[in-house]
A and B are shown apart, each in its own frame.
Chain A
Amino acid sequence: DGGITQSPKYLFRKEGQNVTLSCEQNLNHDAMYWYRQDPGQGLRLIYYSQIVNDFQKGDIAEGYSVSREKKESFPLTVTSAQKNPTAFYLCASTTGQENSPLHFGNGTRLTVT
């Protein structure tokens, strides 16, 4: 079955460490997205990529970095510069055509202590 895989489901890190969240899709989608969700809040856009080797900052990109070396993969690095990294992180993809819906993975819950 086609879909988006985020791993791991739960991730724990010590403050000051960088951590990379994985996102892989086999839907042959061109566009991929990273969102952050905090309790009781909606999704806030961190980074998005419309095509391989290109990506744009979203509304809350500070303290995060991404790469898009392959169409299927869009890893997100949470750096030590991110002041409040504990959150639920969601990756999504879409064909990139107008009106096309987002397909989401089941998220990674990151806890930094």
Chain B
Amino acid sequence: SQKIEQNSEALNIQEGKTATLTCNYTNYSPAYLQWYRQDPGRGPVFLLLIRENEKEKRKERLKVTFDTTLKQSLFHITASQPADSATYLCASPPDSSASKIIFGSGTRLSIRP
């Protein structure tokens, strides 16, 4: 079955460094991948989308890459700040219908001052 997997271990990094989170998919080829941020007790908030024919997308300090050969998307936060601490989720449609959206388990990011 189609799966999206994220490293479930928390990522702890020093303020100012670049945080890199990984999203791997298996048994399908997503037309696009989305990245969301979720704070405790809140609903996820959409951050970025990258299509299968795009290698890279940027928005301010955020950068997403999409490698269809490795079946992987990387999410980078440069010049990280304590306010970036949250859980980050990747999501995609598991098939061409695009109406169903599945999520990875999320990676919790902690930025220490």
Cβ 8 A contact of A40, one of B8, B41, B45: B8
Question: Total contacts A to B, CB within 8 angstroms?
Answer: 61
Are B101's CB and A98's CB within 8 A?
A: no
Interface window among B11-19, B65-73, B102-110:
B102-110
Q: Bound complex: CA of A99 vs CA of B45, how far in Å?
A: 15
Whole-angstrom distance from the CB of B56 to the nearest CB of chain A?
A: 17
Binding site for B on A (CB under 8 A): 4, 31, 33, 35, 40-45, 48, 50, 56, 58-59, 90, 92, 96, 98-99, 101-107, 109
Task: Give chain B residues whose Cβ lies under 8 Å from the Cβ of A106.
Answer: 41-43
Q: Bound complex: CA of A50 vs CA of B41, how far in Å?
A: 27
Are B43's CB and A45's CB within 8 A?
A: no
Q: Bound complex: CA of A48 vs CA of B106, how far in Å?
A: 21
Are B31's CB and A43's CB within 8 A?
A: no
Are A107's CB and B6's CB within 8 A?
A: no
Task: Give chain A residues whose Cβ lies under 8 Å from the Cβ of B4.
Answer: 42
Binding site for A on B (CB under 8 A): 4, 6, 8, 31-32, 34, 36, 41-46, 49, 51, 89, 91, 98-106
Known contacts A48-B100, A102-B46, then 15 further A-B pairs from the complex at CB < 8 Å, ordered by chain A residue: A40-B8, A41-B105, A41-B106, A42-B103, A42-B104, A42-B106, A43-B103, A99-B31, A99-B49, A102-B44, A102-B101, A103-B46, A104-B43, A104-B44, A106-B42
Are A105's CB and B43's CB within 8 A?
A: yes
What are the nearest 8 A-B pairs in CB distance? Answer: A104-B43, A101-B46, A42-B105, A43-B103, A42-B103, A98-B98, A106-B43, A42-B106
Task: Give chain B residues whose Cβ lies under 8 Å from the Cβ of A104.
Answer: 43-45
Q: Bound complex: CA of A43 vs CA of B36, how far in Å?
A: 12
Are A35's CB and B103's CB within 8 A?
A: yes
Are B43's CB and A92's CB within 8 A?
A: yes
Q: Bound complex: CA of A101 vs CA of B4, how far in Å?
A: 17
Q: Tell me the nearest residue of chain B to A50, going by C-beta.
A: B99
Q: Bound complex: CA of A102 vs CA of B99, how far in Å?
A: 11
Most buried by A among B51, B91, B99: B99
Are A45's CB and B102's CB within 8 A?
A: yes
Whole-angstrom distance from the CB of A71 to the nearest CB of chain B?
A: 16
